[in-house]
């Protein structure tokens, strides 16, 4: 426990305090409320102090994001037990939309705001691990359905299929978050749309003689 260790630990703790304050602000008042000054106020620091821990606001926000990706992947654990791959695909889609509705601010940050271009190799622990990477989870479920011959024989690209299914549920979630309050369209409930998009896509990918 050298002094250097202690300083490193304290540094990590401060960094965590910053992230926690940002998360609270973010979850309670939305993206616009997340301001370097307001974060600093919340932890009784000076705005400039934050720049000792994060190169800029983008990187701070991205750090917040990384944890949320894990939270989403963790949620999929509850559907991993569904035995039939087709059912599991549907359950994954519904769980995904539920996550978006329950955590709109986080979802907006994760999938609805353009990435502040991260040219560097974004290698991050958990990439490809279905337990920590939501996309990998979806892909693996799709791959299993393909392997079991439950899908149309002309659909063989698990990545393309996973991305298509993702697009479907993302579309429902994104329209819900972006268009809520819109009066132009006679919107059906988000639950109905979630059910419909999973139902339609499942029908669209399942092999001819599949159940349902």
Find which of its own copies, DNA, none residue 149 binds, CB within 5 to 8 Å per kind: none
Residue 182 found at the interface with its own copies (CB under 8 A): yes
DSSP 8-state assignment for residue 32: G
Q: From CA 192, how far away is CA 185, in angstroms rounded?
A: 15
Which of 21, 34, 158, 201 touches DNA by CB under 7 A?
A: 34
Contact 40, 49 (CB under 8 A): yes
In the complex, least distance from residue 12 CB atom to its own copies, rounded to whole angstroms: 25
Interface of this chain with its own copies, residues 116 to 155, rule: CB under 8 A: 117-119, 121-122, 124, 127, 133, 135, 152
> Does residue 14 interact with its own copies by CB under 8 A?
no
Give me the count of residues in the chain. Answer: 212
Closer residue to DNA, CB minimum distance, 4 or 185: 4
On whether the CB atoms of residues 71 and 107 are closer than 8 A, the answer is no
Q: Which of 14, 63, 163, 164 binds DNA (CB under 7 A)?
A: 14
Decide: 202 and 169 in contact? Cβ < 8 Å.
Answer: no
Among 22, 53, 92, 169, binds DNA (CB under 7 A): 53
Q: Give the C-alpha separation, 14 to 12, whole Å.
A: 5
């Amino acid at each position: 426990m050298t002094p250097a260790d202690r300083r490193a630990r304290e540094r990590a703790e401060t960094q965590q305090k910053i992230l926690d304050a940002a998360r609270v602000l973010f979850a309670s008042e939305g993206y616009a409320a997340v301001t370097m000054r307001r974060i600093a106020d919340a932890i009784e620091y000076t705005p400039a102090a934050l720049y000792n821990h994060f190169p800029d606001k983008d990187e701070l926000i991205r750090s917040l994001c990384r944890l949320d990706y894990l939270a989403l992947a963790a949620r999929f654990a509850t559907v991993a037990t569904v035995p039939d791959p087709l059912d599991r695909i549907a359950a994954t889609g519904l769980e995904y939309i539920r996550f978006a509705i329950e955590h709109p601010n986080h979802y907006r940050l994760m999938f609805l705001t353009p990435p502040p271009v991260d040219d560097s190799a974004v290698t991050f622990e958990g990439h490809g691990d279905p337990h920590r990477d939501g996309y990998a989870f979806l892909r693996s479920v799709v791959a299993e359905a393909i392997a079991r011959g439950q899908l149309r024989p002309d659909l063989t690209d698990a990545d393309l299929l996973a991305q298509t299914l993702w697009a479907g549920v993302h579309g429902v979630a994104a329209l819900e978050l972006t268009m809520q309050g819109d009066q132009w369209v006679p919107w059906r409930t988000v639950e109905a749309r979630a059910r419909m998009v999973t139902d339609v896509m499942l029908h669209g990918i399942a092999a001819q003689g599949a159940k349902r």
